[in-house]
């Protein structure tokens, strides 16, 4: 477990404290290859760059770590790495983050951190996304850091099925422990502030807050996170609603219309 090849990316950019701490931690497991965006890409989900060139530049290289910076999205970074750096092999592990801000509940579908993890997952690579419930760029990750390697090592021992990755979130305050749990149901109540630029032209700035649809539930990532626990949610790239699929099988038809 100490000679692994580990790919790392994020959505906060290559200079963000979170990814550099994560890279430092992962070096104890093996060689780290970092391919990260050249700036913030939050909210990019699994977006790909399809209408303009994507660039990737080698920044530096040591026996423990190789760092590349890219103009692409987090998912682009994973795709580029798979195609250009791992042509005849695959990394043993992909870790993304540490994100500055929680990706619990519905945030998982908007997250560039988790979008990159899903991309790795689709390529058959064990993938883990790490996030801290603090959007500040000077966020303190020290209380989370001591949990990251033990959690990662435990996941490495699992027989994880294809199509499943892990969404891991940590609270800002003291950590009470770790909870394996499910995604909370909820949605973002967006609001748009109308503003005016220096040239007198109107524009809009998105604000809003997360609205929990099951505030009394005791078994969700949002609940445990607010209680001070690290949450671990197995997350699938297969979005099929299998329960509802059974109910609507009667809609199948061979009739042409």
In degrees rounded to 5, what are phi and psi of residue 138? -105, 30
Cβ neighbors of 19 (< 8 A, separation 6 or more) are 8, 9, 10, 12, 13, 34, 36, 97, 98
CA distance to 70, 108, 137, 177, per residue, from 40 (Å): 11, 17, 11, 30
pLDDT computed for residue 257 by the predictor: 58
pLDDT computed for residue 1 by the predictor: 61
Q: What domains can be seen in the chain, in order of their start residue?
A: 4-184+216-251 (3.40.1210.10)
Closest CA to 128 of 139, 141, 137, 118: 118
pLDDT computed for residue 117 by the predictor: 97
pLDDT computed for residue 54 by the predictor: 94
pLDDT computed for residue 105 by the predictor: 82
Between CA 32 and CA 35 the distance in angstroms is 10
What spatial distance separates the first Cα and last Cα of the chain, rounded to whole Å? 58
Positions of the chain with pLDDT under 70: 1, 255-257
pLDDT computed for residue 256 by the predictor: 60
Between CA 59 and CA 13 the distance in angstroms is 14
pLDDT computed for residue 227 by the predictor: 96
Helices 142-156, 17-26: inter-axial angle, 10-degree rounding:
50
The answer to whether the beta carbons of residues 5 and 37 sit under 8 Å apart is: no
Whole-prediction pTM: 0.92
In degrees rounded to 5, what are phi and psi of residue 151? -65, -45
pLDDT computed for residue 208 by the predictor: 76
């Amino acid at each position: 477990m100490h000679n692994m090849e580990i790919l790392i990316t994020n959505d906060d950019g290559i200079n963000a404290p979170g990814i550099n701490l994560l890279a430092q931690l992962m070096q104890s497991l093996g060689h780290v290859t970092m391919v990260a965006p050249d700036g913030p890409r939050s909210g990019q989900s699994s977006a790909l760059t399809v209408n303009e060139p994507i660039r990737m530049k080698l920044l530096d290289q040591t026996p423990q770590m190789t760092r590349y910076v890219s103009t692409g999205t987090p998912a682009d970074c994973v795709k580029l790495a798979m195609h250009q750096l791992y042509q005849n092999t695959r990394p043993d592990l992909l870790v993304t983050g540490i994100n500055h801000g929680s990706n619990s509940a519905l945030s998982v579908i908007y997250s560039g951190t988790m979008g990159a993890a899903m991309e790795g997952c689709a390529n058959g690579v064990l993938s883990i996304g790490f996030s801290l419930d603090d959007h500040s760029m000077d966020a303190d990750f020290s209380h989370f850091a001591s949990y990251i390697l033990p959690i990662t090592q435990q996941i490495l021992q699992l027989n994880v099925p294809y199509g499943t990755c892990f969404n891991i979130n940590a609270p800002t305050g003291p950590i009470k422990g770790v909870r394996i749990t499910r995604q909370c149901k909820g949605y973002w109540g967006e609001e748009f502030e109308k503003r005016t630029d220096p040239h007198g032209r109107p524009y809009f700035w998105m604000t809003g807050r997360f609205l929990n649809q099951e505030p009394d539930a005791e078994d969700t990532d949002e609940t445990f996170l607010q209680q001070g626990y690290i949450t671990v949610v197995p997350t699938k790239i297969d979005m099929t609603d299998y329960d509802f699929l059974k109910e609507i099988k009667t809609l199948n038809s061979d009739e042409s219309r």
